[in-house]
A and B are shown apart, each in its own frame.
Chain A
Amino acid sequence: MQVQITVNKKPRTDEVEPRQLLVHYLRDTAGLKATNVGCDTTSCGACTVLLDGVSVKSCTVLTAQADGGTVVTVEGLGGTADGGQMHPVQSAFREEHGLQCGFCTPGMVMASVGLLSENPNPTEHEVREGLEGNYCRCTGYHNILRAVLLAAQSPDAGKPEAQVSA
């Protein structure tokens, strides 16, 4: 079937199988490999992207369901199509060492942007709860929490197109 989806601000039209999962559309059809798959059961959040402005687990959304929608992946933060420019959340993750192996990171960053878009000034507890659907094996979440709190100091951290001034 044919779908039209805007990915990182670029409108696309693609022919896909109805059973294709959005995460595979992003990785294989659109060639954006940052979004990862970490589980089979919608548990880990590694695949988190923004769909029509809210965080979703792209392993549990059909490409077909996203037809007509808008997707932002970690490559699209900071207003770019395929990475390069830092967004306040990305920069805070670096500053606070909120990543180690990096595998959970794209999903974690997108979940954090989603969280900050809904709650720009979260408490520690709200950050933990807001990220309960994103697993990380490396960091113990200690610095992820700090990164999100640091990012929250930037007023537009909940906006995907926000950029860190160089």
Chain B
Amino acid sequence: MSILGTRVVRNEDPELLTKGGTYTDDLIDERLDGAAHLIFVRSPVAHARILSIDTSEALKLPGVVAVYTAADVDLPIINPPMPMFNQDMTQTPLASDKVRYVGEPVAIVVCDDPYIREDAAELVEVEYDILPAVIGMPNAAKDEVLLWESVGTNTVVDFGTPDDLDPNLFDDCEVVVSHLIQNQRIHPAPMESRSGAASWPEGERLTAWIPSQGAQGAKAALAAQLGIDAAEVHVLTPDVGGAFGARFGADVEMVLTAWVAGKLHRPMRWSETRYENLLAMTHGRAQEQRVTIGGSRDGNMKKYRLEVLADCGAYPKIGGILPSLTRLMTPGTYVFDKAESIAKAVVTNTTPIGAYRGAGRPEATAAIERAVDIFAAEIGMDPADVRRKNLVPKFTEPHLTAFGALYDSGDYETALNKALEAANYEDLRKEQQLRRERGDAKQLGIGMSSYVEITGAGSESGDPNENATVEVHPDGTVTILTGTSPHGQGHATAWAMMASDTLGIGIDKITVIHGDTDLIPKGGGTGGSRSLQQGGMAVQKASIELVDIARTRAAELLEANEADLQFNIDDSGFSVAGVPSSTVTLAKLAEKERLFINAVFAAPGATFPFGAHLAVVEVDVETGKATLERIFCVDDAGVVMNPLLFDGQRHGGIAQGAAQAFLEEFIYDEDGNPLTASFADYPFLSATEVPSFDLVSMVTPTTYNPMGVKGVGEAGTIGATPAVQNAVVDAVSHLGVRHIDMPTSPRVVWEAIEAARSNSNSNGKVA
């Protein structure tokens, strides 16, 4: 029986459980012997001109090795990463003339002893001339206060303009509803804060340890930002304590760690506090959306418009491109006569926005799924019925949307029906009705979402491909080199399973190596749920090709015809048909000559996993507190390779999705001061805020790879968020509430109930 598709516990766990991972801060490596420790002095203000920096007191503290400011740093300017962005919004590695967000690095202090870092940083005196802060996307779009006066605008990029919108779009609609929706700013919050280490002895290459989602991309970014040839850089990826999209490339702190290591020719270590992490690791989401949806009273949705205003934070990063992904997924799983979308991205005096689990797609799903519910409420129809009426019918041949997305395969209605069935939807509605009639304090809310998303869109080169090297050793062990970069996903187990299935060698004999740019020069890393469908497929392809090479060698050795050779998976070797004694194993074949191959798997395109979630919440209408009771999730990401890992990815995503709907928000006051810069204030979800999750299986294979797999890493944050949000609104919809922005915290829910009550009272109705 094939190991693929079975539940296999992880190879990486014994080490992680008994000795702990080797995260960057844990590294013991002779290249780092005698390392000094960096700390960054960060801006305490959101927007200001730097008048002066006095480093003299810090330099006097025993144990301080050096202090650097922008004037000392001879590195290239950092340009906005996409050509379509406003290219004048440039950044210097350390703030030079201006600071543009709280947490921006202003100076570097280098210390012998990590215990004096904070003492020393406190001694650097920076004088600021405070400027008004630009907080909130609509404010930024007004261009009244500018982050770059010389640029003349706060707009980073426009994807379409209001002129592109059809003024008659909704003319044929009986019902048109429109709402402003906040997709709030959140923090990726991996449990490991950022850190880095670098060794750059005089006349030698730079070695940099970067906890990233892809060493090869980090290497390219590091070389570019240091202004050196990539051949001069060796990047290693230690264990990574979670990433969630926020660890691609090389952050300025890492670039500067390497720069100081080169300047002082002394190894450097950097690790940040959680406070710094919350301020300076890229944030996610942060869109303000206007949705307008029109159709007929019998539930036919005809037209949809999505207008997005996206926050880039203080410097345009990957966050500027995410609204284009949101646009791409505008219509979700539905058929519209016409849908249209425009987006604008602006800078504000806040932490830069980057990718966060789902990166642009959750925002699209959140918008359309709220819009559908608002439409359903307007016409008084069950939201499940409205959805069923308008879903794209099942398709097996790729389906091209008006926005240019080519959905590979899908059956959205079955997914929705499975979720409804698993939840006993009709019974839930009855229970809800009973509670409403009784006027219970705890009302029931039922919310659903139907989603489709994009996975495996790109790689290092932009094309959906990945490489792997597989080698069988004479002792019967196997080494796999992969261009993907796991940080919790379990590739050491999964890729071993892929190879084992083809080579007939046990997974305990297979070692998977990633994150070393000398050993593995090419690789697209792990993100966008690409790993299995490209990296895993590359391992399979390499394994198959390896058996082919081995066959040729075996034929020679056994003096037989290749066609007469049989590969016996149980023995990991060949035998000659009809001559049972004539056999040779792969390991044996590796004795004479190394037996290895590198293969690239190229997919024809991105895949579009889909699913439906149904959340059941209780809302205490007296206090506004909502709690998640159950969540039923159908996530169809094609064929399942290892259900243990597959479901683990779903669980984590569902929790993060629910956390966005209920709790999480990174908040600034109007002056740009962060109010949630610690784990005491940033409401990280704990075990008490979630139930166990009800996972429902559904498998619709893709034809884009031999196994039929798609990506599942982001399903949870795409499907769960709107389901939970819709459920909270649904719980209080009988009180006249139509929409509640996320996070649906108790105060917000209570205020929505109060507003609806006073509204209906002033309309002469009784609440």
CA A129 – CA B688 in complex, angstroms? 6
What 1/0 mask marks residues of chain A from 33 to 59 whose CB sits below 8 Å from any chain B CB?
Answer: 111111111111010000000000000
- Nearest Cβ on chain B to A8's Cβ, whole angstroms: 12
| A12 interfacial contact with B, CB 8 Å | no
Q: Which of B111-153 contact A (CB under 8 A)?
A: 115
Q: Which residues of B contact A142 (CB under 8 A)?
A: 651, 655, 690, 692-693
Q: Are B18 and A83 in contact, CB atoms less than 8 angstroms apart?
A: yes
- Nearest Cβ on chain A to B113's Cβ, whole angstroms: 10
Q: Which residues of A contact B487 (CB under 8 A)?
A: 101
| B19 interfacial contact with A, CB 8 Å | yes
Question: By CB atoms of chain A within 10 A, which of B14, B15, B490 has the most?
Answer: B14
Q: Which residues of A contact B652 (CB under 8 A)?
A: 100, 137-140
Question: By CB atoms of chain B within 10 A, which of A38, A100, A104 has the most?
Answer: A100
Q: Which of B191-219 contact A (CB under 8 A)?
A: 191-193
Q: Which of B1-48 contact A (CB under 8 A)?
A: 9-10, 12-23, 25-26, 28
By DSSP majority rule, is chain B's interface helix, strand, loop, or mixed?
loop
Q: Are A128 and B688 in contact, CB atoms less than 8 angstroms apart?
A: yes
Indicate whether A143 sits within 8 Å of B648 (C-beta atoms), given known contacts A99-B13, A132-B686, A138-B488.
Answer: yes
CA A101 – CA B13 in complex, angstroms? 10
Q: Are B274 and A143 in contact, CB atoms less than 8 angstroms apart?
A: no
Q: Are A140 and B20 in contact, CB atoms less than 8 angstroms apart?
A: no
Chain A-chain B contacts (Cβ-Cβ < 8 Å), number: 188
Which residue of chain B has its CB nearest to the CB of A128? B687
Question: By CB atoms of chain B within 10 A, which of A93, A97, A132 has the most?
Answer: A97
| B680 interfacial contact with A, CB 8 Å | yes
Q: Which residues of A contact B490 (CB under 8 A)?
A: 100
| B275 interfacial contact with A, CB 8 Å | yes
Indicate whether A97 sits within 8 Å of B20 (C-beta atoms), given known contacts A140-B654, A140-B693.
Answer: no
Q: Are B679 and A78 in contact, CB atoms less than 8 angstroms apart?
A: no
Indicate whether A95 sits within 8 Å of B693 (C-beta atoms), given known contacts A86-B17, A90-B17, A103-B242.
Answer: no
Q: Are A39 and B274 in contact, CB atoms less than 8 angstroms apart?
A: yes
CA A124 – CA B690 in complex, angstroms? 12
- Nearest Cβ on chain B to A117's Cβ, whole angstroms: 18
Q: Are A102 and B687 in contact, CB atoms less than 8 angstroms apart?
A: no
Question: By CB atoms of chain A within 10 A, which of B191, B487, B490, B652 has the most?
Answer: B191
Q: Which residues of A contact B688 (CB under 8 A)?
A: 128-129, 132
Q: Which of A64-80 contact B (CB under 8 A)?
A: 74-75, 77-78, 80
Q: Are B239 and A102 in contact, CB atoms less than 8 angstroms apart?
A: yes
Q: Are A101 and B192 in contact, CB atoms less than 8 angstroms apart?
A: yes
Q: Are B687 and A75 in contact, CB atoms less than 8 angstroms apart?
A: no
| B684 interfacial contact with A, CB 8 Å | yes
Q: Are A41 and B16 in contact, CB atoms less than 8 angstroms apart?
A: no
Question: By CB atoms of chain B within 10 A, which of A133, A135, A144 has the most?
Answer: A135
Q: Are B644 and A140 in contact, CB atoms less than 8 angstroms apart?
A: no
Q: Are A101 and B241 in contact, CB atoms less than 8 angstroms apart?
A: yes
Q: Are B655 and A33 in contact, CB atoms less than 8 angstroms apart?
A: no
| B220 interfacial contact with A, CB 8 Å | no
What 1/0 mask marks residues of chain B from 561 to 585 whose CB sits below 8 Å from any chain A CB?
Answer: 0000000000000000000000000
Q: Which residues of A contact B18 (CB under 8 A)?
A: 74-75, 77-78, 80, 83-86, 90
Q: Which residues of B contact A34 (CB under 8 A)?
A: 19-20
Q: Which residues of B contact A39 (CB under 8 A)?
A: 274, 678-679
Which residue of chain B has its CB nearest to the CB of A21? B115
- Nearest Cβ on chain A to B207's Cβ, whole angstroms: 20
By DSSP majority rule, is chain A's interface helix, strand, loop, or mixed?
loop
Question: By CB atoms of chain B within 10 A, which of A24, A74, A85 has the most?
Answer: A74
Which residue of chain A has its CB nearest to the CB of B7? A97
CA A162 – CA B3 in complex, angstroms? 32
| B240 interfacial contact with A, CB 8 Å | yes
Q: Are A94 and B693 in contact, CB atoms less than 8 angstroms apart?
A: no
Q: Which residues of B contact A95 (CB under 8 A)?
A: 9
Q: Which residues of A contact B28 (CB under 8 A)?
A: 33
What 1/0 mask marks residues of chain B from 251 to 284 whose CB sits below 8 Å from any chain A CB?
Answer: 0000000000000000000000111000000000
Q: Which residues of A contact B685 (CB under 8 A)?
A: 135
| A116 interfacial contact with B, CB 8 Å | no
Q: Which of B76-104 contact A (CB under 8 A)?
A: none
Q: Which residues of B contact A136 (CB under 8 A)?
A: 191, 687
| A5 interfacial contact with B, CB 8 Å | no
- Nearest Cβ on chain B to A139's Cβ, whole angstroms: 6
- Return the contact of B17 from the options A74, A101, A145 (Cβ within 8 A): A74
Additional A-B contacts beyond A24-B115, A101-B487 (4; CB < 8 A): A93-B13, A102-B17, A128-B688, A142-B655
A-B contact pairs, 21 of them (CB 8 A): A33-B20, A36-B241, A38-B193, A74-B17, A74-B20, A83-B20, A84-B18, A86-B17, A94-B10, A100-B490, A101-B190, A128-B687, A134-B686, A135-B686, A138-B191, A138-B648, A139-B648, A140-B653, A141-B686, A143-B648, A144-B687
- List 10 tightest A-B contacts by C-beta distance, closest first: A34-B20, A103-B241, A140-B655, A100-B488, A101-B488, A83-B19, A102-B16, A43-B679, A140-B651, A83-B18
- Residues of A whose CB lies within 8 Å of any CB of B are 17, 19-20, 24, 27, 33-44, 46, 74-75, 77-78, 80, 82-86, 90, 93-95, 97, 99-106, 109, 124, 127-129, 131-145
